[in-house]
Amino acid sequence: MKTLSIHGHRGARGDAPENTLSGFRLGAEIGVDGLEMDVLVSADQRIVVHHDDCLNPELTRTKSGDWLTPPFPLVRELTVTELQCFDVGRARPGSQTAHLFPNQVPADGESPPTLTQVANLQLKHGTAPPLLNIEVKSNPYRPEMTPEPSQYAALLVRELHTYDLLDRCWVQSFDWRVLREVQLLEPDLVTGYLSSSQGNGGNIEPHRTSPWLAGFDPDRFGGNIATAICAAGGRFWGPAFRDLDDQAIKQARSAGIRVHCWTVNEEHDIKEVMDLGVDGLTTDFPERAMRLTGHSAATARTSHRITTRPD
Is the predicted pLDDT of residue 306 greater than 50, yes or no?
no
Is the predicted pLDDT of residue 243 greater than 80, yes or no?
yes
Across 169-198, average pLDDT: 97
Domain membership of residue 257 (yes or no) is yes
pLDDT at residue number 199: 67
Q: Counting beta carbons within 10 angstroms of the beta carbon of residue 68, is it exposed (0 to 12), middle (13 to 18) or buried (19 or more)?
A: buried
Domain membership of residue 106 (yes or no) is no
pLDDT at residue number 130: 96
Do the beta carbons of residue 33 and residue 68 sit within 8 Å?
A: no
pLDDT at residue number 200: 64
Is the predicted pLDDT of residue 298 greater than 50, yes or no?
no
Is the predicted pLDDT of residue 309 greater than 90, yes or no?
no
Do the beta carbons of residue 32 and residue 7 sit within 8 Å?
A: yes
CA-based nearest residue to 258, from 271, 275, 239: 239
pLDDT at residue number 307: 42
pLDDT at residue number 297: 53
Is the predicted pLDDT of residue 311 greater than 70, yes or no?
no
Q: Which residue type does 157 have?
A: V
Is the predicted pLDDT of residue 107 greater than 90, yes or no?
yes
Across 281-297, average pLDDT: 89
Domain membership of residue 287 (yes or no) is yes
Is the predicted pLDDT of residue 258 greater than 60, yes or no?
yes
Domain membership of residue 16 (yes or no) is yes
pLDDT at residue number 305: 42
Domain membership of residue 87 (yes or no) is no
- Alpha carbons 101 and 110: distance in angstroms, whole number: 18
Domain membership of residue 251 (yes or no) is yes
Which range (38-52, 157-171, 190-204) has the least confidence? 190-204
Average pLDDT, the chain: 93
- Alpha carbons 185 and 111: distance in angstroms, whole number: 31
Q: Please give the residue range of the domain that contains residue 123.
A: 5-57+115-306
pLDDT at residue number 296: 60
pLDDT at residue number 304: 42
- Alpha carbons 20 and 60: distance in angstroms, whole number: 12
CATH number (domain holding residue 163): 3.20.20.190
Percent of the chain with pLDDT over 90: 87
- Alpha carbons 274 and 281: distance in angstroms, whole number: 9
Domain membership of residue 64 (yes or no) is no
pLDDT at residue number 295: 74
Across 50-66, average pLDDT: 96
- Alpha carbons 54 and 174: distance in angstroms, whole number: 18
pLDDT at residue number 257: 97
Domain membership of residue 181 (yes or no) is yes
pLDDT at residue number 310: 40
CA angle 105, 109, 115 (to 5 degrees): 95
How many domains are there within the chain?
A: 1
